[in-house]
């Protein structure tokens, strides 16, 4: 018997080559494509892997394709909350003239993704027991994966840089050509092909007047009866009723977190990310099913998680006081959709 190869059991940055496999599995053709990156697992890297697959295989295997369906995990470089993922996919849609629909598996259910059972599980079995000593060994091991049912896998090395820390502005997200589906629009959406927003039309001139832009949404405009489904006076009464209870609820939560009573006067210390009035308003809009938590987070200048927590705090109080919020049939995907709707709605209009 030969001597076993000594390997390290954990990651040691700087002492080993980095390898990041990003896989695309074609469920129809039973073929896999794995792009092995050497830099960072970013949204740009994820979409670059899909782009490579499309240019090398997809467009040739499906020359008449006009749409592309992607099932992806809920987190990571292709997570549903990752702004870079959506903006990079929008660029890919524009390049390929494809409608790209993404369906994210719910958080915690990534093992439901067929790529786990039909591609990566076989790759893992194929290279088990073999030390992955270099990029060449990794790529060759992946490409050598086959199954009795006909699976074939292509693998290649991607040495391009994919820097982290790239920020995507609210304006860029609002400008995306995206349609969110009625069922869980945060997890299911379609990006439509369109020219890049920074491209200048052929017949444009530098002295053209800029297009008019809608007014910025304010808390007052978000309280419009067309959005809340109730008169402003009723909403104001609801806020006045729930605010004291929300403040008591916050104090109780902080006391439990501290483990003792306040040492400073009320009103001092860290402020809540959302004032009680905004928490009530955000919950009403969410219960109306007008927008996703991501969009509400944009409107109130907080994260979707903060909106979710506000909803968890306010909804039981609404139920206790017998306030039932009727869902609306209207759906908005960007702040511009809301401003356009309010600008075109009669003062007394209601959404049902």
**Strand partners for 31:** 26, 152
Residues with Cβ within 8 Å of residue 124, at least 6 apart in sequence: none
Out of 248-257, 309-318, 324-333, pick the least confident: 248-257
Assign 80 a pLDDT band (cuts: 50, 70, 90).
very high
Q: What is the pLDDT of residue 342?
A: 82
| Whole-Å CA distances, 93 to 50, 68, 96, 317 | 11, 9, 5, 44
* Helix, strand, coil percentages in the chain from 3-state DSSP, rounded to 5: 40, 10, 45
Report the relative pairing of strands 178-180 and 188-191 from DSSP bridges: antiparallel
Confidence at 180, pLDDT banded by 50, 70, 90: confident
Helix (H, G, I), strand (E, B) or coil at 34: strand
Indicate whether 38 pLDDT > 60: yes
Between 218 and 102, residue with greater pLDDT: 102
pLDDT at 204: 33
Q: Choose between 294 and 206: higher pLDDT.
A: 294
Tokens for 300? Answer: 């109130």
Q: Could you give the CA distance from residue 342 to residue 244 in angstroms, rounded to a whole number?
A: 31
Full DSSP string of 284-329: HHHHTT-S-HHHHHHHHTS-HHHHHHHHHHHHHHHHHTT--PPPPS
Quote the pLDDT of residue 41. Answer: 95
Which of 152-161, 233-242, 246-255, 273-282 reaches the highest mean pLDDT? 152-161
Burial of 182-215, coded b for 16+ CB within 10 Å and e otherwise, reads eeebbbbbbbbbeeeeeeeeeeeeeeeeeeeeee
**Do the strands 188-191 and 99-104 form a parallel or antiparallel pair, or are they unpaired?**
antiparallel
Q: Is 278 helix (H, G, I), strand (E, B) or coil?
A: helix
Q: Is the pLDDT of residue 229 over 50?
A: yes
| Mean pLDDT within 81-106 | 95
pLDDT band, residue 211 (cuts 50/70/90): very low
Domain boundaries, the chain: 20-191, 219-255+270-344
SS3 category, 347: coil
Enclosing H/E stretch for 153? strand 152-158
DSSP element (H, E) containing 50: helix 43-53
Q: Do β-strands 99-104 and 67-72 pair in parallel, antiparallel, or remain unpaired? A: parallel
Average pLDDT, the chain: 83
């Amino acid at each position: 018997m030969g001597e076993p190869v000594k390997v390290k059991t954990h990651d040691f940055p700087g002492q080993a080559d980095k390898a990041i496999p990003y896989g695309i599995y074609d469920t129809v053709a039973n073929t896999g494509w794995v792009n092995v990156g050497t830099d960072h697992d970013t949204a740009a890297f994820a979409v670059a892997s899909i782009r490579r697959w499309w240019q090398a295989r997809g467009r040739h295997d499906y020359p008449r394709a006009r749409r592309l369906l992607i099932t992806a995990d809920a987190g990571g470089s292709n997570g549903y909350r990752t702004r870079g993922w959506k903006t990079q996919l929008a660029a890919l849609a524009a390049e390929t003239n494809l409608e790209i629909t993404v369906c994210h598996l719910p958080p915690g259910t990534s093992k439901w993704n067929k790529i786990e059972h039909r591609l990566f599980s076989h790759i893992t079995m194929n290279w088990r027991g073999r030390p992955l000593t270099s990029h060449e060994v990794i790529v060759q091991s992946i490409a050598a994966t086959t199954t009795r049912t006909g699976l074939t896998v292509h693998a290649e090395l991607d040495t391009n840089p994919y820097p982290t820390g790239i920020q995507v502005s609210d304006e860029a997200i609002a400008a995306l050509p995206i349609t969110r589906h009625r069922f869980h629009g945060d997890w299911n959406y379609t990006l439509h092909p369109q020219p890049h927003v920074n491209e200048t039309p052929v017949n444009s001139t530098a002295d053209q007047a800029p297009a008019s832009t809608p007014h910025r949404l304010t808390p007052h405009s978000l309280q419009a009866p067309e959005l809340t489904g109730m008169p402003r006076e009723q909403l104001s009464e609801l806020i006045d009723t729930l605010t004291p209870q929300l403040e008591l609820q916050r104090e109780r939560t902080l006391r439990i977190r501290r483990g003792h009573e306040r040492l400073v006067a009320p009103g001092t210390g860290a402020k809540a990310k959302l004032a009680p009035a905004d928490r009530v308003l955000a919950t009403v809009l969410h219960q109306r099913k007008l927008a996703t938590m991501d969009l509400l987070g944009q409107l109130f200048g907080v994260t979707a998680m903060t909106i979710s927590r506000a909803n968890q705090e306010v909804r039981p109080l609404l139920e206790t006081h017998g306030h039932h919020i009727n869902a609306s049939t209207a759906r908005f995907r960007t702040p511009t959709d809301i401003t356009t709707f309010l600008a075109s709605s009669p003062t007394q209009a209601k959404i049902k």
